[in-house]
Structure 1
């Protein structure tokens, strides 16, 4: 059983539509895929309608958080998308994405980079605009060779020359809100140092004490030693460990199913969730 619990669609900063994402997941030989767009559930309806037979969809989101000045992402699975308090916080984050992107574009222009809002809006389409869309614009202009190369101190990384802050959740509040909505929380890529500063292990311990369910261990931004260290930390703290591709379509090099989650861990996540249930495929054509 192959399970990938972290993937993005055009509802945020992926390049596959939600329908394409589930079809591509089935074509990649996955049995389970999670749709975890940034701070939005906007792709749910399309993805659910398109789930092919043989694939199960886990609905979720990747919530933008900040702790002591350090940005982090919290994966939330199988929560009630209609729960009002969590929905209101997601909306605050989404609403702040446009002025934040415009601020970063202004900083890039001051640095001599000719990115425009019109260009970034075209790239984002109907999705929730984010840094990867700005990075894609930079690639189009030949400023950087890849999207990942834009996430440095020179450009868009946390604290970088063109970085701008947005509204973000306190991760302790995120855990509380997701739990109140019947969901399960997993700290995404907690040691992805190339993305910028990471929270210390003491903070992960505090989050675990506050009800964090797990940490994403097997991820392209974690090397072998880091994965071993995180697995040991999870064992000490009683946390679940997941593996995921963090797929963004053609925007990043990661492939669906590049890293996967143990079926027993997936089973525990679904047992803990009360806000929503995994969606089995209803027989859609994976080739459509």
Structure 2
């Protein structure tokens, strides 16, 4: 069984529509795929309607968090998307994305880059706007060669020249909210240092004590030594270990199913969740 628990669609910063994502997941030989768009569940209905037979959809979201001045992402799986407290927090984070992106456009203009808000809006195409959309605009203008090249101190990395902060949830509060909505939490790419500052292992231990379920270990941004270290940490803390592609379509080079989650871990995630259930495909639209 091949299980990819971290993928994005055009509902946030991926380039596949939710329907295209599930069809491409089936074509890639996956048995289970998770839709984890940033701070939104807007892709659920389309993905479910198009779900091919033989593919199971795990609904989720990637929540934007911050602790001690460090940004981090929390994957939330199989929560009730209508639970009021978590819904209100997701909307607060999502609504702050627009003024934040507009602020980055203004900073880029001040640096002499002729990016426009209309260009970023076009790239986002109605999705939950984020830094990758601004980065794509920089690629279109020839300022950088790839989206990844925009995530440096020169441009959009945390603390970079054009970086603008946004509202982000305290991760301890995120765990509490997701648990309250019947979901399961996994710390996404916790040691992806090339993205910016990462939290120390002591904070991961505190998150585990607060109810964190797992950490994403097998990820494109973790080298072999990092994965070994994180596996040891997970064992010490009693955390589940997941692996995923963090697929964004053509916006990144990683392929669906590049990294996968052990079926036993997936089974434990589904056992712990009470807010929603995996959706089996019946042929799609």
- 1:10 alignment partner, SS class: coil
User: What is the aligned partner in structure 2 of residue 121 from structure 1?
Assistant: 121
1:283 deviation in Å?
A: 1.4
Where does 1:134-153 land on structure 2 (aligned, <5 Å)? 134-153=134-153
Residue in structure 1 matched with residue 264 of structure 2 by the alignment: 264
Does 2:213 correspond to 1:213?
yes
Describe how 1:70-219 pairs up with structure 2 within 5 A: 70-219=70-219
The answer on whether the counterparts of 2:144 and 2:150 sit within 8 Å (CA) in structure 1 is: yes
Residue segments in structure 2 that go unaligned for 5+ positions in a row: none
Give the secondary-structure state (helix, strand or coil) at the position aligned to 2:92: helix
- C-alpha contact (below 8 Å) 2:48/2:284 kept by paired residues: no
Q: Distance in 2 between matches of 1:108 and 1:238?
A: 44
TM-score of the superposition, structure 1-length normalised? 0.98
Is the contact between residue 23 and residue 52 of structure 2 (CA under 8 Å) also seen in structure 1? yes
**Residue 55 of structure 1, CA deviation:** 0.2
1:12 aligns with 2:8: no
Structure 1 runs of 4+ off > 3 angstroms?
Answer: none
Q: Which runs of 5+ in 1 are unaligned?
A: none
Residue 6 of structure 1 aligns to a residue in which SS? strand
- What is the total number of aligned residue pairs between the two structures? 285
* Correspondence for 2:37: 37
Q: Residues of 2 paired with 1:114 and 1:68: CA distance?
A: 34
User: Is 2:39–2:62's contact at 8 Å kept on the other side of the alignment?
Assistant: yes
CA distance in 1, matches of 2:229, 2:152: 25
Secondary structure of 1:173's aligned partner:
helix
Deviation at 1:177, TM superposition (A): 0.1
C-alpha displacement at 1:284, in angstroms?
2.3
